[in-house]
Structure 1
Amino acid sequence: MKFKVLGSGAGIPSRTRNTQSFVLDVVEEINQYFLIDTSEALQHRILDTTIRPSKIRHVFITHLHGDHILGLPGFLSSRSHQGGEGIPLIVYGPPGLEEWIETTFRTSGTHLNYAIQFVEVGNGDVFDIEGFKVSVQLLDHAIDSFLYVFEEPDKPGALKSDKLREMGIKPGPIYKQIKSSKTFEHEGIIYNTCDYVSAPTAGRKVAVHGDTRVIRHKDYLDMLEGSDLIVHEATYLHGEQEKAHLYYHSEINDVLFNLSQISYGQLLFSHISNRYDAEMVRLVEEQLPSGIKLAHDFIEITIPRDSQ
């Protein structure tokens, strides 16, 4: 599992940062990509990667500000001609998203050659998507903005074949039968299968924020607890907590202090204001603890199993 940043900037693009768009790469797990937010020029960004639009079957929009959605009409249209013909797509997002796309397509005469479904999300929603549990939490922004938490299912433990061989059970179809049952019989004795299977490997958990102020509620922090990767905005990198709060955004040190109350694997800060030059970004990065990074366009984060 990998997390790829196609755009890491806030508000408007700069020479070095496009506005926000992410991809959760679960090709190894389910042969798909989850696309999260769709900044302007998304089509061009994808062309600079090995991502195949036909393998994007689910799109998640955090909120309806332009720097997070203006690339969606173009992406949907180009997907028709990039292997997506006949492959359905589901778009999850706040109320109003479907109406905006329908109006855009109607006025521009755009037609798709695949089925598209819009799912309106709300606070507390939970979806089962390709075996992943996807939870939705309302954030604190000028308009409705959401957190998406992606939880991979646990990976079943492996059969302890050495123990079975010691019992005199030779490899073969019987091993599959044993693993799929709660008990098995050998030479007249009933055994519990769980004693012959290793513990399952916990699924990974990735939490991706839309724009937000810092949230200090316990329920919110509990939702992030144990994440292997948290992606959070840091529009403000150098103080100015009051200004960040005034404009419904977050300041990096305030976020770090807030998240110090929970355990997590990696933390990636994105949505970086274009008023910070490369030298300021470098100075901030040098002060960050291990496992915490500032995003830049095309950065790729590997999310290993058991990263906690």
Structure 2
Amino acid sequence: MELWFMGTSAGMPIAERNVSSIVLSLTRTKGSLWMFDCGEGTQHQLLRTPLKLSRLTKLFITHLHGDHLFGLPGLLSSRSSLGGTASLDVYGPPGLREFLDAALRLSDTHLNYPFQVHELEAEGAVLDEDGYTVECALLDHRIACFGYRIAEKPRSGSLRVDVLTAAGVPPGPAYGKLKAGEDLRLEDGSVIRAADVLCDPIPGRVVAVMGDTRPCEGALRLAQGADVLVYEATFGADLAEKAEQYGHSTTLQAAETAKAANISRLLITHFSSRYGPDQLAELETQARGVFPQTDAAMELQAYPIPSPSFRTNLA
């Protein structure tokens, strides 16, 4: 599982940064891609990565401000032109369907794949499939805006091979059945219960992706205990009043949310165009003063999210 940032700039692009879009590359779905927001120029950014647009299966829009949305019609059209035929689901606030219907109709764009828009009317479960769940919550911005929590379902633990060897069970199909949670009946009539030879389940990873927001209860709830939190830090600590006025957060507010939610890693993004590349280190330093495990997200760079079992082995 990896996170890629296609754009980290707020409001409008600058020479060094594009506007908002994030891609989550999944491992349990044969490399499927899920995208969060699609600002103008997102498809151009994808061309600069090893990620393939044809693998995009889910697209989540946080809100309908242009810097999170204007790249969507072009990206959908290119996916069709590139021969994409797999179905695509798009999730987002009310109004998203109207925007896409108008853009595709007026531009006479025809998509060669099944396409469905799911408008989110309330907080709660968004989907449950392919080994993952997604839930959403309302954030505190100037217009309706959602954050998303993506949770990987737990995997079954490893088999206690020493116990099976002592019981005379050779490696093979029997191991597969036990791994799948099926009890095994031996030739002598005795039964080996899967629960007795499986180690504890391996917890799934959790990624929380916020849209534009002031600090709020919805963001804190979605972020709770996450392995990675992606949170906006539009302004530095000295511009708290401006952040409040425009419905955004500062570096310190992002870090305070991360600390309160007891997460493992914070990736800050959505930086105001007033900050050039040489100033991002200072924004990162501000956040690290509250939450040391903070990084200012860099575009077109992979951020791996190791599984709990891998982290344990490293320890």
| SS at structure 1 position matched to 2:300 | coil
- Partner Cα separation in structure 2 for residue 258 and residue 177 of structure 1: 43
Matched, 1:130 2:140: no
Percent of aligned pairs sharing the same letter: 37
**Deviation for aligned residue 1:266:** 0.9
- Partner Cα separation in structure 2 for residue 165 and residue 116 of structure 1: 51
Letter in 1 for 2:20: Q
Question: Which contiguous aligned blocks of 4+ residues in structure 1 show a shift greater than 4 angstroms?
Answer: none
Post-superposition Cα deviations, 1:104-135, rounded to whole Å, max 9, x if no partner, equal 11111111111110011133231114231100
Letter in 1 for 2:271: I
Letter in 2 for 1:153: K
Change (3 A) 1:105 1:239: same
- Partner Cα separation in structure 1 for residue 11 and residue 219 of structure 2: 25
**Deviation for aligned residue 1:51:** 1.1
Letter in 2 for 1:178: L
- Partner Cα separation in structure 1 for residue 109 and residue 179 of structure 2: 51
Matched, 1:23 2:23: yes
Query: What residue in structure 2 maps to residue 38 of structure 1?
Result: 38
Contact 1:62 1:94 in 2 (8 A): yes
State the TM-score, normalized to the length of structure 2. Answer: 0.91
- Partner Cα separation in structure 2 for residue 4 and residue 52 of structure 1: 12
- Partner Cα separation in structure 1 for residue 279 and residue 128 of structure 2: 41
Matched, 1:278 2:280: no
Range with bigger deviation, 144-153 or 298-307: 298-307
State the TM-score, normalized to the length of structure 1. Answer: 0.93
**Deviation for aligned residue 1:138:** 0.5
Change (3 A) 1:33 1:76: same
Range with bigger deviation, 190-199 or 67-76: 190-199
Contact 2:177 2:183 in 1 (8 A): no
Query: What residue in structure 2 maps to residue 208 of structure 1?
Result: 209
Letter in 1 for 2:116: Q
Count of residues in correspondence between the two structures: 305
Q: CA RMSD in A?
A: 1.8
Change (3 A) 1:160 1:29: farther
Query: What residue in structure 1 maps to residue 294 of structure 2?
Result: 292
Query: What residue in structure 2 maps to residue 88 of structure 1?
Result: 87
Could you tell me which runs of 5 or more consecutive residues in structure 1 were left unpaired when the two chains were aligned: none
| SS at structure 1 position matched to 2:238 | coil
- Partner Cα separation in structure 2 for residue 300 and residue 220 of structure 1: 24
**Deviation for aligned residue 1:161:** 2.2
Letter in 1 for 2:204: G
Contact 1:34 1:58 in 2 (8 A): yes
Query: What residue in structure 2 maps to residue 301 of structure 1?
Result: 303
Matched, 1:107 2:106: yes
